[in-house]
A and B are shown apart, each in its own frame.
Chain A
Amino acid sequence: MSSPLENPTDFSARERRALETLVKRLGDDEFVLAERYTEWQVRAPSLESDLALANNAQDELGHARLWYDVLADLDVDERDLVYERDPADFRHSTLVELPFAEGDWADAVLRSYLYDAAEDLRLEALEDSAYPPIADRVGKIRSEEEYHLEHARNWLERLAEGEEGRDRLQDALDRLFPHALTLFESATPPVETAIPTREASGSNEIERNTDETSGDRSDADAAAAVEGDIVDFGLRTATLEELGEEWLSIVVPFLESLDLDVPIDESTIGEGVEYAVTVESLPTQLGRDGTHTDAWFDLYDDLTHTYRELERSDAAKIREDPDR
């Protein structure tokens, strides 16, 4: 078992890289999903659903911030993480970046369900993280996330009751499901933390997976290596494969209970594998490896527009505090 990671200034380059990769995939998912949710403000089908989704967006922004704060100990601040980052360095799943089909509430509801079911599992796998700042955040985030899942499930059940609603859900499912699978893809380490050629740490334990030819490694190998480190160092206590299987075992039966066809190979070969995720089930862009759909680059341009064009990097005080 790995010992608790206490002081980030003592981290080896590999520990730092693992932490940064994990936190970016967590924070980026929340941040980008929140940006998309806000598009529903004043457009959701009822005042209640409008407020609910706006509130969920605010929750996700808060959670993104909680995750990004973890990197503050490594001297990476929010501005670097949001406004000064190359959009190709974001590690979110493509599920959260896709634009909503115009006016399609079924898309918003289904996306929320697919995402929140996955988030619940991954938070559970972070509760006993070896890095205390991660573990300490999980309770707060989970307590707020419970409502998201409940909200999504209730809406799914309501929409699936009628034929038109179910048809729309089916369309959304066919479109979104491959992207949801990227939630469980391993993330390529962010570019600015390329491993130094020589490890500072002399520990054999830390060195054991170091590839001599790391300079030539493909991104996929680097992603697999850093994902192995995330689990080996105890930052997360379950593998992505375990999380993905558990997620399938929850969402597939639930969606099928709503008379929806889940677009995934069901194999009953008798090895305990009920659902198989193959390369063919995944979209071209995985998000986690830094490849994204064009929609993400457009969204990034939009959300950084004011920062870039008007050079507004800080909130300005328009007038002095009248109470002073």
Chain B
Amino acid sequence: MTRRSSEAGTDGGSESVRGSDRETTPCAYTEYREGRDTEECPATGDGATGLEADVWDALSSVEDPEMPISVVDLGLIYGVDVDGGAATVEMTLTYSGCPAREMLTDEVAESVAAVEGVEDVDVRLVWSPEWTVEMVTESGKADLRAFGLSV
């Protein structure tokens, strides 16, 4: 790592840090792809209202089959879209070879379909950005620690 002190040096002090921050440019050797903002994944439904909030509540009741943690806290849900009575859920799985794939997607679809006002559910599996343990929410991490996992 090389510190860019030569540019900042003439300004001096903390001012220079803010100065170089303002000049931040995209990394030259990284290709930036159009797509979902990975900062927004996973989604947790904070600030959702109305029917969408009800859908998030339903999703929070779906637990991972192996651990006492909801699919929302585990970070599997990447987005919920409600259009009239049609709900679309984008979700991922922790592992590509997840044997509980159908079990989870079926349970998500059933729980959302049971929400009053939802007429149609579309559950889409997506794989990008790939799930990592960083996707687990803070309360999810607490649940996993209580379960005996070190996260």
Contacts and interface: CB of A to CB of B under 8 A. Distances in A.
State whether these chains interact.
Answer: yes
Interface of A: 58-63, 65-66, 69, 128, 132, 135-137, 139-141, 143-144
22 contacts: A58-B99, A59-B97, A61-B97, A62-B98, A65-B96, A65-B97, A65-B101, A66-B96, A66-B127, A132-B35, A135-B33, A136-B35, A136-B126, A136-B127, A136-B128, A137-B127, A139-B129, A140-B96, A140-B128, A141-B96, A143-B130, A144-B96
Contact of B96 (A62, A132, A135, A136): A62
A62 B126 contact: no
Contacts of A144: 95-96
B96 A128 contact: no
Nearest to A55: B97
Nearest to A34: B97
A143 B94 CA distance: 12
A17 B37 CA distance: 32
A38 to B, nearest CB: 12
Interface in B84-139: 95-99, 101, 125-131
A59 B96 contact: yes
Interface residues of B, number: 16
A69 B98 CA distance: 14
Contacts of A59: 96-97
Interface of B: 31, 33, 35, 95-99, 101, 125-131
4 smallest beta-carbon distances between A and B, as pairs: A62-B97, A62-B96, A136-B128, A140-B130
Nearest to A69: B125
Given A137-B127, A140-B128, A58 B31 contact: no
B75 to A, nearest CB: 14
Given A128-B33, A137-B128, 12 more contacts: A58-B97, A59-B97, A62-B95, A62-B97, A128-B31, A135-B33, A136-B128, A139-B128, A139-B130, A140-B96, A140-B130, A144-B95
A68 B33 CA distance: 24
- Chain B: interface secondary structure? loop
Given A59-B96, A59-B97, A62-B98, A140 B127 contact: yes
Contacts of B35: 132, 136
Contacts of B99: 58
Contacts of A65: 96-97, 101
Contacts of A135: 33, 128
Nearest to A132: B35
A63 B129 contact: no
Contacts of A66: 96, 127
A60 B127 CA distance: 16
Contacts of B96: 59, 62-63, 65-66, 140-141, 144
B105 to A, nearest CB: 12
Contacts of A141: 96
Among B98, B127, B129, residue most surrounded by chain A Cβ atoms (within 10 Å): B127
B2 to A, nearest CB: 27
A63 B130 CA distance: 13
Contacts of A132: 35
Contacts of A143: 130
A10 to B, nearest CB: 19
A70 B131 CA distance: 19
Nearest to B31: A128
A143 B130 CA distance: 9
A145 B106 CA distance: 28
Contacts of B127: 66, 136-137, 139-140
Contacts of B130: 139-140, 143
A296 B128 CA distance: 34
A149 to B, nearest CB: 16
A62 B33 CA distance: 25
A141 B95 CA distance: 9
A68 to B, nearest CB: 12
Nearest to A59: B97
Contacts of B125: 69
B66 to A, nearest CB: 14
Nearest to B126: A136
Contacts of A139: 127-130
Contacts of A60: 97
